[in-house]
Amino acid sequence: MSSNITHISSNDITIEGWLRKKGSLFSWRTYFVSVDANRFLSYYIKASGGRLAGRVKLTRKCKVVLDPRKENGFVLFADLGRTLKFAADSKSDVVLWKEIIESACLYDESPPGEKKIDTGKDARTSAAAALQRAHRRLRGTSVKKRFFQQSSSSLSTSTETKRQESSEIKPDDETTEKTETTIKKRTTQNVTTQKKNKKAFADFFL
């Protein structure tokens, strides 16, 4: 599946693309979403430059988590108790969105006099590291998938080999069974013949 991310940068921690956003009740609508260099997450009815539908300031108080109830979904817990639910079209896209938003939230927004939590440089480094982690996860998933396919192929080959060996052994078993039956039959015939000879010999002398 092709990505719906139209722009992504770890240098200024920005990302743009199409996401589905949950509205009232169970309705979902597609928006053009962007995280800009000023740490605003904005969503538009159309592409960038279209009518603005909503905007959220990303601060270190925000939190992003994956949504277990929605495939490829994530939830943004923003200031003032706002909760926004989004969904991407693929697992790779949702990982990148989550990592970039988390890095943007780490950008220094500390009030004057408060100890700084992160600097712009550190936030950019965090974003770059986030992208690397996302790519590693995707590569790991691909490797696991290939390993599973190879294991399944090996298992199928092993099963087929055993089936062939079993079919090769079967004629030998049938031959052995036929041989045993023939021996038993001949033994029975010999015993019967001996009994007849003994009876004829006894009748001769009577």
Decide: 19 and 33 in contact? Cβ < 8 Å: yes
Q: For 73-77, 96-100, 169-173, which range has the lowest pLDDT when averaged over its residues?
A: 169-173
Residue 205 has pLDDT above 50, yes or no: no
pLDDT recorded at residue 6 = 92
Q: Which of 74, 58, 100 is nearest to 19 (CA)?
A: 74
Using CB atoms within 10 Å of the CB of residue 85, give its burial: 0 to 12 exposed, 13 to 18 middle, 19+ buried: middle
Asked whether the CA dihedral 135, 152, 89, 41 is positive or negative, the reply is: negative
Q: Which residues pair with 87 in a beta bridge?
A: 20, 73
Residue 108 — pLDDT band, cuts 50, 70, 90?
A: low
- Across 25-42, average pLDDT: 93
Measured distance CA(51)–CA(181) in Å, rounded: 91
Cβ-proximal residues to 53 (8 Å cutoff; 6+ apart), any chain: 31, 43, 44, 45
pLDDT digits (tens, 9 = 90+) for 48-96: 668 899 999 999 999 999 999 999 999 999 988 899 999 999 999 999 9
Residue-level pLDDT at 50: 80
